[in-house]
Amino acid sequence: MYLLYAYHVLQSVDDSRCSHVSIDKWVKFWSKKTTKYHPPPPRKEKKMVRPKSTRNPLGDIAIHERWSTAEEALFTKLCIARSLK
């Protein structure tokens, strides 16, 4: 506990020699025990892959049916122009 407090005090000092020590180097220098956890392996970047099949393989766009009365009322209530529907 005292070593962590000493590290905190050294980091809060504006002296450039003391403030460049990382916590990792501080612990490795003072700790005599073997490390309990090994550093994790580097992570690989996940790449986006286009699916082999889609829901609409032909690319046809279906004609939109008329809005229901409830949907029309919502557009009217929100003052959305007919051309934007």
pTM of the model: 0.33
Long-range CB contacts (< 8 A, 24+ apart) of 16-22?
A: none
Residue 34: half-sphere exposure toward Cβ, Cα within 13 Å:
2
Tell me the average pLDDT across 53-82: 82
In this prediction, residue 71 carries a pLDDT of: 86
If we measure between CA atoms, which residue out of 39, 10, 36, 42 comes closest to residue 23? 10
Number of domains in the chain: 1
Domain that holds residue 22: 1-35
Q: What is the overall mean pLDDT for the chain? A: 79
Question: Does 73 fall in a domain?
Answer: no
| 5 lies in some domain | yes
**Domain contains 1:** yes
- What is the band of 51 on the pLDDT scale with cuts at 50, 70, 90? low
Q: Is 70 part of any domain?
A: no
The C-alpha atoms of residue 13 and residue 83 are separated, in whole angstroms, by 65
